[in-house]
A and B are shown apart, each in its own frame.
Chain A
């Protein structure tokens, strides 16, 4: 008797937890949507900001965000994938592997601002790259490395062993097996990991502000400075004068991140269906 009541109450509380979480998300998204949707015009998306208070659009920031995210993707993917290949196919349990995993976990947990200061100290100043898309991309790739590494490693491990046995049975070398059989089979999951990492990179502020800078002009070469959407949003929010543009930027940013996350989920779900 007592236990039935406790049970009901407890379940009620847990339902409340679930509902609260959904409500929180809904509230945040609704808030930004309501205040920002009015700003989303083609003008906003394609023109550049002008004036002291960033009137106009945010075109260059969108380009800057995509530029730096894309570049960091190019930098990090080969390294992360090959690193994961090592961990999944060649590595032997031991101190080295422990160290690598500890390092990867550490990188994944580094506070963004530390990464930002690091990027500033190394890429902007020590290596003399200055505030640039390249500095930003390099700093972001450190952040993305563990994410892609883990996704790739799990993807490789998910490839059934019998496929490899078949390949070896035909006389293939390890590399041939990995490159022609395992990796292609693991590709969808790897892609999912990459897309998730990109979603994370798009949302970064502290890392980018100290490495790519704040110049509002359109970055053409990787050595140009630029302002990402997150930095623009931060600056607008801090100044507090042009709040309309701030909400518009926030909405577009959230749409972008949502796009990446939903794509990743869709890809994962499709992959699960296909593989059965």
Chain B
């Protein structure tokens, strides 16, 4: 870190410059005590001074603005400074502007727009302000002026819709008049208006303006909904916060409201469909199953593609491998984020462009997800109990042959092959009567999901706290699968004195689950298991339906090979799956994870505006995995006599961050915000695995490994492993705002990572961005259509260090060889080192435009970006004669470019409000350079595709290409085959593939790109409809143009008769005269079918073809929530602060042409190149929940 001191000199120098500039801020030298009393007139100047004291802020103003004006103070202790200022300034036709965290400027409002001809306020608080309709302290005198008319007096209380807390300082105006009032500290108001007034208008900063018809009532209680699009919204950015209006980078923010009613298991599920350019694929329905997240497309081929998560300031790269010991081989990986309770989240910010992400340097290339959890507020004391209970059911099932259909088909297959039929007519009749076993039905179920959360938050001036405890229990839709979680959180803030602030974020969570082997293997890398290894969903999908679950003695039948009821002499065996129901019920695949995430910080305000924040934290993750496969099930029997495996892994990850920040404004036109610091993070992982087989009984299982090897022939296996990495960084950001409309941000991070070669340990990641608030220009002042317009341009670099550790070093591997009868350990060089190994670099340019129309009722954000990733890491083949297959090198590049649109509109306000958010994103991915090759074929690593390299990476093409044959229906006759010029043995009734190179031979050379797993575009629509206390939310998300390889279909139409198949098999190509030799077959009755004959899958049956690759476009009603806020205040239930009931449904509708279960399914979770491969994946579920939120 030679360069680091230099960096610090720069930071310090910047700070020094800040100090030596004369302080312009008006400093306050005396105290005023009374702040929160009601109805007390005082000089505005005194009021502002007291606010400065109260909130430790600085308020600047020109003295002529203040003059001798008076005000009435209406401040609650719990108010944020903005609310307090708003309440005071609003009636005086003044406004404030927030310069930075603690500096405000008071200034006159802009001249009102056409006040004469438009006296009525429109339904927007900002416009309301600018129209200068002042419901002032002299309400009564105004009312008296109209005493000729009959009067009506209306009173009531105004509450916050989301929290049901009383809202003080709400402006209430009789529509069509200038008569109005404001609510008191308890949210109560009383207003006398003429009886010709029919409507009251309620408005308050930060809330949506609501019109309420009087309808003769004398009491009107109303709840205002928070105006979440408020421009003064503060969002979390890397190492700080910023007002949304000042952002120069591209960022999506998801607030708690959007996800709070969804029964999500892990945080990342909460991002689904809500942010433009953020694609979240739930690739397996297993409780706690991993998701795959791509922000603006995948940047990498061989290194990680997942974003960096920063949970309350602690960076975590979600490597599911860190929570996996390898013991549960064949089980899809559990999401490492499952140990973070999503119910504690307040907001999720997704940093997308380089200006936003570069401050996270070598880990930021895939985007950064900032997660902020709840903190307490002074003065409030809230107890919240939230719960939901729901039922999940498998959303779709495969339509399979029943026992009768299967037996009949099988007989036909056997006869066609010249062998005796398997089943007799009597058996067929029996199967027709009983229907046989529906193995899917036996395995799948409806399952409950439930969640209970108790949160306590509050605090006094010096201490604020938020505690929560959570219990979550999700049963899977496959029998005996579940995930349960208990978690606690404590966030504490302490103001030790005026200048010192300490805080603690502490989470401890424990999850335990039983998982089932489905779809992919560990890390998605080992692929589909062989039939014998116990992928039980695969088993259920292909199992002979004529075999019962239990035999006559009530014991589980063993496997698909057993010829229960088949006639003597039937010589062809079935594909030997073990009984999946026996596996699910008798085998155990337990996963226990405990995470403690602990982050302590101290913040010292050295001088006004200059803060040093020192953070120390640890992220501890401990996992234990247990597997036992008893001797009573087939895999266990073959082990032999039961197999037990135990694995444990501990991950210790610590962090120290030292961040210095300084903010300051000069002369009203200049505002700076400097951040600099350095951080150190280190990670260690240690694991231990053991396994044993051959147990004398199945009682103790994995808790007694030493009980195995009963026959002395199978000694236990033991493995231990360790892994560590370190990261050390210096970082800075400089933000400068000129005249509040020209915004500049420069960031940089200097990262040193242990993962890279000794010649490339350090890297610098810079970014720069400018923003121009066009709407604040003078030339925009005369129009009122556009309330906000900002142009953003950014450029920057970020890196990807997520490659396996130690890859730059040469290493020795260990092996064993038998000498005598014992194994001896041998060592050999197993990797050639590459001292030049380094990070992948993504350079991104972003141009964005934020527009707000109709006073913010329509907000549009559009971004175009171009990203180029260079130095892609490839495991490059080296000459095999070296004794090595490959070595890791930085060779290759790819690009992503795209457009993102996000639109947020509030077409209706008032009693009936409607908010709609639409996001849409298009990303085009292209491989530019591949380790010097034109193309690389990739083995999907799936048994059923054997060694076919059915995926293709090609220069000029996107990642995710399916590479296979183009299907041209079914061969109809010998004549057709002869006419085609195909010289290979082909028979009518077989798949017909197009001979791309017309050489008369169908072979590997006839493959072509037959689809791509990446979507053309994706999008989501959220709607919030609210009528009084009733709220309806729904979220629809889309994906268009993504293809999926329906590999389950290959097996379901693989007509060898040794396994069950799809009901489509009944529609197979049938020879007119089956007694003819098969090369003379013809089919005149069903020539249009795409399903081959019973002997038809020999050639090309297990090939990837265009018949298998399907359009996976979809639209999904991902969430629908109907909620009712019980008006507890009005009902006089004083014990409750709020009571909310809701019903929510997930995945209720799926519109797709995809014939598999779900177009998002993928065997390979988190893989960058093996995309869209659907094979016996744990089916996704549809969920209905009912929830209650109770606030005390």
The yes or no verdict on A and B being binding partners is: no
- B residues apposed to A, CB below 8 Å: none
List A residues at the B interface (Cβ < 8 Å): none
